[in-house]
Amino acid sequence: MKDSPEIIAASTLVTCDASFTILEHGGVVIFRGQIVKVGPLAHLKSAYPGAPVAFYKHCLLMPALINAHIHFEFSSHKDTFTYGSFEAWLSSVIQHRNAVFHNAKRHIHHAIRAQLQSGVGSVGAISSYGLEREILAHSALRVVFFDELIGSAPYALEQNFKDFQERHARSLKYKSPKFTPAIAIHSPYSVHKELAQRVLERADAHTPISTHFLESHAELEWLESGRGWFGRFFQESLGVANPAPSFEGVVDFLNLFAHKHLLLVHALFARPEHFKHAQQIATQTHIITCPRSNRLLSGHLLEVARLRTLALPYVLATDGKSSNLDVHLLEELRHALFSLPGPLEHNAQDLLLACTAHASKALGLNNGVLQEGKDADLVLFSAKKAHTPLDILLRILQAQKARALYIQGRRVIPGSLSSRHF
Ligand code: MCF
Ligand code: FE
């Protein structure tokens, strides 16, 4: 980290703040890993006359992108799990999960490189086993690391709690400005209520808590009536004698997250009253959508217009290769732009915020906006001109990869990708 201010500027600057400011010939002054000033390049030069200037001609400067939900451990998955139906997918995961951890570490490195090359500076990594913890902690990425709790069997509660505590304690050891340990409750169907309560009672109101929520209609039916596909699945595939959900409905599940910072992932079958309840009880509620994963598993897409009426902005993420074709956030953006209904210009702005400002807030980070006091996580994409959110998004999609990426003021792309971390 340099100990004197430096200016990074480009032909176009996009702040991704609430008013979505776009500046021509704009830049930021960075110092000790943070942004200390934003504005027209001419102003910055006269305010900091001695500062070196990195000017990126025909480029767009914006906050580094954020992929808020990704399962790195499944990075070697290609064609083992069944796509096309959530139920078939889950059955195939239960049957073949271990087969996909072959060569996992090599594929995790690859997935990390894919994030950086596409301009992603921060990730929300969901970890079921901890296979990627150390690799991520030593990578250039800024990481919110969600140790994921799984375990629905009441007789295994004590053991599952102990295993989780051990994994989470290992993550807490890596805590740093670039690595934030956090918690994920896998889902209402795979975690016992008492187990979740015990884990969450120790979590404070600022730790992000993520959960896969109402990703399938079967899950809604299971929570509301204790019947349907999940009943048969527990009985026939997992050998549970008289299966019953440990939660008394959707609201009972949501109540786990009272006074917590909550991230609801997928939420395809959530009703407005569910969202409203979450907003009432949690300190913050964020919705994360992974459109390609959703299309491939349940066939549905999140109805983003419904969220607008609740003033609930959504966050865009790739999910893991376990339920997607790849983990390229730019591909996710492309798919979302073409598939989400509604006015294109409006959607383009929402999508840009969904992987910058809104994703940052969801992960509890101090980046995602070009603003004084924010961490200097910046990305540059080649683009001659861009005047509107749609222009900007289209130019990014055409660029296909980042021209440069800075994390905490340090340039990591282009960088030496052959270092031991890659
Ligand atoms: O988000 C997708 C679909 N919904 C649920 N789980 C997962 C997804 N991608 C990976 N998973 C993992 C999860 O972390 O699949 C396993 C867990 O390790 C399912 S175990 C019930
Ligand atoms: Fe997921």
pLDDT of residue 93: 97
pLDDT tens string, the chain, 422 residues long: the values are: 678 999 999 999 999 999 999 999 999 999 999 999 999 999 999 999 999 999 999 999 999 999 999 999 999 999 999 999 999 999 999 999 999 998 999 999 999 999 999 999 999 999 999 999 999 999 999 999 999 999 999 999 999 999 999 999 999 999 999 999 999 999 999 999 999 999 999 999 999 999 999 999 999 999 999 999 999 999 999 999 999 999 999 999 999 999 999 999 999 999 999 999 999 999 999 999 999 999 999 999 999 999 999 999 999 999 999 999 999 999 999 999 999 999 999 999 999 999 999 999 999 999 999 999 999 999 999 999 899 999 999 999 999 999 999 999 999 999 864 443 33
pLDDT of residue 1: 64
Closest ligand to residue 95's CA: 1
Instruction: Name all residues whose Cβ lies below 6 A of ligand 1.
Output: 71, 74, 93, 126, 128, 148, 150, 186, 190, 212, 215, 293, 319-320, 322-323
| Side-chain half-sphere exposure of 156, counting CA atoms within 13 A | 11
Q: Which two tokens stand for residue 184?
A: 């994920």
Distance in Å, CA 33 to ligand 1 centroid: 35
Q: Are 222 and 228 in contact (CB under 8 A)?
A: yes
Strands 34-40, 22-31: parallel, antiparallel or unpaired by DSSP? antiparallel
Distance in Å, CA 97 to ligand 1 centroid: 10
**Torsion angle of C-alpha atoms 285, 377, 62, 38, degrees rounded to 10:** 100
pLDDT of residue 102: 86
51 burial class (0-12, 13-18, 19+ CB within 10 angstroms)? middle
Distance in Å, CA 190 to ligand 1 centroid: 10
Closest CA to 131 of 173, 101, 164: 101
Phi and psi of 116, rounded to 5°?
-60, -45
Distance in Å, CA 166 to ligand 1 centroid: 21
- Which DSSP string corresponds to 250-314? HHHHHGGGTTSEEEEEE-TT--HHHHHHHHHHSSEEEEEE-HHHHHHHTS----HHHHHHTT--E
Closest CA to 63 of 123, 105, 119, 10: 119
Phi and psi of 292, rounded to 5°?
-70, -40
